[in-house]
Amino acid sequence: MINRIRVVTLLVMVLGVFALLQLISGSLFFSSLHHSQKSFVVSNQLREQQGELTSTWDLMLQTRINLSRSAVRMMMDSSNQQSNAKVELLDSARKTLAQAATHYKKFKSMAPLPEMVATSRNIDEKYKKLSHSVN
């Protein structure tokens, strides 16, 4: 009789240990899942910010290219200062600069991550310098 009680007690203890292990592994799983969700949200925010900055940079480069092409045409044909091609290039530069400003405003409207505040300030300074140089 006592042997049966010991066996049953031992089996209950083994089941208790397995239940405890199951609870520990479940809590680790949910902790990992929560961390992965946070990482995904941060990654998505960074991707959106990167997209807006890339669009801004592309449009600023296009503006600079249009201004350079217009300046070259003015130097090549100094007699006709207001030719149609020059005016079109300048209008295109104004439009792309306005589009770049729109994309940059979208970037600035997104809250920077705490780790990226200094980088965001640095980007802001560089944008202002480049914007003033092509404006």
Give residue 53's pLDDT: 92
Q: Are 106 and 65 in contact (CB under 8 A)?
A: no
- For 1-134, give the CATH class: mainly alpha
Going by the DSSP 8-state scheme, the letter that residue 81 receives in this structure is T
92-96 long-range contacts, Cβ below 8 Å, gap at least 24?
92/66, 93/63, 93/66, 93/67, 93/134, 96/59, 96/60, 96/62, 96/63, 96/66
Q: Are 118 and 95 in contact (CB under 8 A)?
A: no
Asked whether residue 39 carries a pLDDT value surpassing 80, the answer given is yes
Statement: residue 111 has pLDDT above 80: yes
pLDDT over threshold 70, residue 82? no
